[in-house]
Amino acid sequence: MSSSVAVAGASGYAGGELLRLLSTHPEFEVRTVTAHSSVGRRLGELHPNLHTLGDLVLQETSAETLAGHDLVFVALPHGHSGPLTDMLPDDVVVVDAGADHRLINENDWHRFYGGDWHGAWAYGLPELPRQESKQREWLREATRIAAPGCNVSAVSIALAPAVAAGLVETDDLVSVLSVGTSGAGRALRPGMLASEIMGSANAYKVGGTHRHIPEIVQDLRWAASGRGETSTADIRISFTPVLVPMSRGILATSTARLAVGATEDDLREAYAAAYGGERFIQVCEPGRFPATAEVLGSNLASIGLAVDHDARRLVAVSALDNLVKGTAGAAIQSANIALGLDEGAGLPIEGVAP
């Protein structure tokens, strides 16, 4: 029997992508979709690509509307899901695609987000290496799951194996990302207009101000020690996202100074050990680096590795679709694990080309 599913925040890009993937899931049946300003409208008016779900009518986003389902996905702006999910019954599996339940350190929440902190949930990046396991071990039978940030996934996946193996110095990490415009959400903003973004690229949230930084640090501390908040690992990263004229995708170029004695062979062995059995992470053969076009529409993250011998730095280039592996795909993958289903159920590996 299929699990009944509700998607809160179905009018946005993340909500729409959740519904696209859920529409073909063999074990989930979407019964309820909610929104705010679009209440009463047909889903197909907002997401005309969702042909099989288009006749669903958007309802008010409330605990009463969401309760009674087996599984609830929440795709609301940061700061909005915490008060709502606090009111949902314990027997409902809830996956939050926003940031409200990602950070284990309350001070980080107040510094980078502000407002009330609602506590951390099981973290939904299944492949993340921890000291002697993977993050998926913490997802089994979880009833509250926080899906990771899209930029975070691109950087954490790229650097975690090297950090876990002690092959890089963790106090000198640098990541520069090319990011598609859908990562900023669907709300109308002047800087997101086609006339503003087409033919241009611009850095934003420069100088250690981006909200995803504490989450990346948290991930890499887990990779370094497996002890989360009590970790003593000194993780320092200079993180700079660059908005580029594409609707989807993230290409992250992350570098780290090599530890004394670390070699390129050591690095490739560490990445093979970390991701060799993972269906949704691909490590490219030597000399090849991924492009965002290869992973669009896919739940796959692809990583290319090199060593800059003169600078003595690892260079890890990662590509993923911010709406799939970066958001909706990670949420569904985590829900599959929590419910004891095939981890890849409903999730595509093949990308869309051209």
Choices 3.30.43.10, 3.40.50.2300, 3.40.640.10, 3.30.360.10: CATH for 151-321: 3.30.360.10
Residue 185 scores a pLDDT above 90 = no
- What number is the average pLDDT over the span 71-86? 96
Which pLDDT value is given to residue 131? 63
Residue 249 scores a pLDDT above 70 = yes
The full set of domain ranges for the chain reads: 3-120, 151-321
The type of residue at 203 is A
Residue 227 scores a pLDDT above 50 = no
Helical pair 13-22 and 329-338, crossing angle rounded to 10 deg: 50
Residue 96 scores a pLDDT above 70 = yes
The confidence band for 297, taking pLDDT boundaries of 50, 70 and 90, is very high
For 187-255, give the DSSP string. Answer: S--GGGSHHHHTT--EE-STTTT-TTHHHHHHHHHHHHHS-GGG------EEEEEEE-S-SS-EEEEEE
Residue 79, by phi and psi: left (phi above 0), alpha (psi -120 to 50) or beta?
A: left
Q: What is the pTM of this model?
A: 0.94
Which pLDDT value is given to residue 133? 75
List the single range of 63-72, 185-194, 212-221, 310-319 with lowest mean pLDDT. 185-194
Which pLDDT value is given to residue 125? 97
Residue % of the chain over a pLDDT of 90: 88
Which pLDDT value is given to residue 197? 79
The type of residue at 183 is G
Catalytic residue among 21, 150, 157, 303: 150
The confidence band for 181, taking pLDDT boundaries of 50, 70 and 90, is confident
User: CB–CB of 319/255 below 8 Å?
Assistant: no
Which pLDDT value is given to residue 187? 72
Which pLDDT value is given to residue 226? 53
> In whole numbers, what is the pLDDT of the chain averaged over residues?
94
Residue 229 scores a pLDDT above 50 = no
- What number is the average pLDDT over the span 46-58? 97
Superfamily of domain 3-120: NAD(P)-binding Rossmann-like Domain (3.40.50.720)
- What number is the average pLDDT over the span 203-226? 92
- What number is the average pLDDT over the span 302-320? 98
Task: List Cα–Cα distances, 108 to 94, 102, 188, 209, 239, in angstroms.
Answer: 23, 10, 28, 12, 16
Which pLDDT value is given to residue 228? 45
Residue 178 scores a pLDDT above 90 = yes
Q: 284 an active-site residue? A: no
